[in-house]
Amino acid sequence: MTTSTPEEARTQIVNMVREFVRRDVEPVAAQLDRDDETPHELINTMKELGLFGITVPEKYGGMGLDYTTFAMIFEEISKGFMSLSGAIGTHHILTYVLTHYGTEGQKQRFLPKLASGQIRGGLALTEPEGGTDVANLKTTAHKDGEEYVINGTKMFITNGRYGDAFCLLARTDPDAETKHKGISCFIVEKGDPGFRVGRDLDKMGYRGLDTCELFFENFHIPEDNLIGGEEGLGFGQVMSGLETGRINIAARAVGVAQAAFNAAIRYSQQRETFGVPISQHQAIQLKLADMATKIQAARLLTYDAAAKKDRGERVDLETGMAKLFASEACQEITLEAMRIHGGAGFIKDSPVERYYRDAPLMIIGEGTNEVLRLVIARQLLRRPEYQI
């Protein structure tokens, strides 16, 4: 009996996802985008493939995969329909926080259902008045006997309509010495009228996936839902989870950029002007060369950050760099792909029009690039190994 190596297992899993995207996702992506319709059948297939438990340890029913494979999976899905990767994006931040900071009871209670997709997870972090300024959040969690009472509003929440459980940050100590020390992390489940889903947000891109407002009005949860069982640690717990989120966002950007490049290079070899394919014109060749180079650089940054995460190294700087570069490159490449297509790229029948609308999500999501530049600079100034 022979067993596959980790590299062989990774190849098998990525090939499985690639085939799923080719067979089931690509034929319906344009329609899902047009209708802004959540693809429940595709999500159910993702559950069957085990993609809701990519990094959940095997002892809790997950696949226990490394973050390099995690990134490859997000890249492959995003080549077909980036929005679909959102169904498991913040879901995996919740599983990460539970895996690394939850009590054993919380892990036993939630992780098997999250890994199977029986429960779809999300991240209730952003608020209407403080998207980037997380430490200034207004949502409160007041201790009342053996329960917490939550009040507040969350905004731009992926999986908000059809998700079941959310990693929620709320203020438990309004008098804390520094704002972030007064924040705690909870897992909250739907089912009580005090937890209400608001409107579905009509987005420019990232369509075909539910993104909503969440309202908490005297919403009671048991104290056992305080992740880790200790108040005041939520900010650090979620910031750590966001490092993995930046790996998945960077990988999504690489996937969308690669899809745009693939469309552009195919079109350039089919479309003729002045008697030859436009790929023979130097102006187009220069664009293709720059696009391919930026994609490769973005991919290498992304997988370098994932590999360091796999080795247990500190990766706040590396994930920030990967997300920053990959998302900016994706925006540039999708625009160049549209320019190569000319007028054909400007109409909704062309997939490059969708890629162009999807690209800004990666610039904004999991920390805006403006904030990430500050994070990167501060780490460069603090870490002597980068001061050569």
CB 277 within 8 A of CB 271: yes
How many domains does one find in the chain? 3
Q: The domain that contains 371 carries what CATH number? A: 1.20.140.10
Q: What is the pTM of this model?
A: 0.95
Residues 243 and 360 in one domain: yes
**Residue 344: how many CB atoms within 10 A of its CB?**
14
- pLDDT given at position 385: 77
Considering only residues 180 and 87, tell me which one the structure prediction assigns the higher pLDDT: 87
Residue 212 is assigned to a structural domain of this protein: yes
pLDDT by residue (tens digit) across 283-315?
Answer: 999 999 999 999 999 999 999 999 999 999 999
The CATH code of the domain that includes 13 is 1.10.540.10
Q: Which of 131-135, 181-185, 201-205 has the lowest mean pLDDT?
A: 131-135
Q: Is residue 1 situated within a structural domain?
A: no
Residues 126 and 111 reside in one and the same domain: no
Q: What is the rounded distance in angstroms from the CA atom of residue 53 to the CA atom of residue 273?
A: 49
Helix (H, G, I), strand (E, B) or coil at 373: helix
Binning pLDDT at 50, 70 and 90, where does residue 1 land?
A: very low
pLDDT band at 388 (very low <50, low <70, confident <90, very high): low
Mark whether 72 and 128 lie in a shared domain. Answer: no
Whether residue 104 is found in the same domain as residue 132: no
**Statement to judge: residues 199 and 229 lie in one domain:** yes
User: Which regions of 237-381 does DSSP assign to beta strands (E)?
Assistant: 272-273, 276-277
Domain endpoint, select from 205, 233, 261: 233
Residue-level pLDDT at 215: 98
Query: What DSSP assignment string belongs to 295-336?
Result: HHHHHHHHHHHHHHHHTT---HHHHHHHHHHHHHHHHHHHHH
**Domain end point (choices 172, 203, 233):** 233
Instruction: Check whether residue 126 and residue 26 sit in a common domain.
Output: no
Separation between Cα atoms, residue 186 and residue 356, nearest integer Å: 36
Q: Which of these three, 116, 140, 173, is where a domain ends?
A: 116
Catalytic residues: 366
The answer to whether residue 45 sits within a structural domain is yes
Is residue 74 located within the same domain as residue 58?
yes
Task: Assess whether 381 and 241 both reside in one domain.
Answer: yes
272-273/211-222 β-pairing: unpaired
pLDDT in tens, 104-149: 999 999 999 999 999 999 999 999 987 677 878 999 999 999 999 9
Domain of residue 71, residue span = 6-116
Position 3 confidence tier, pLDDT thresholds 50, 70, 90: low
- Are 10 and 59 found together in one domain? yes
CA 320, 324, 328: angle at the middle one, nearest 5?
170
Do 224 and 278 sit in the same domain of this protein?
A: no
pLDDT band at 232 (very low <50, low <70, confident <90, very high): very high
Looking up residue 145, the CATH number of its domain turns out to be 2.40.110.10
In-domain check, residue 128:
yes
50 within a domain of the structure (yes/no): yes
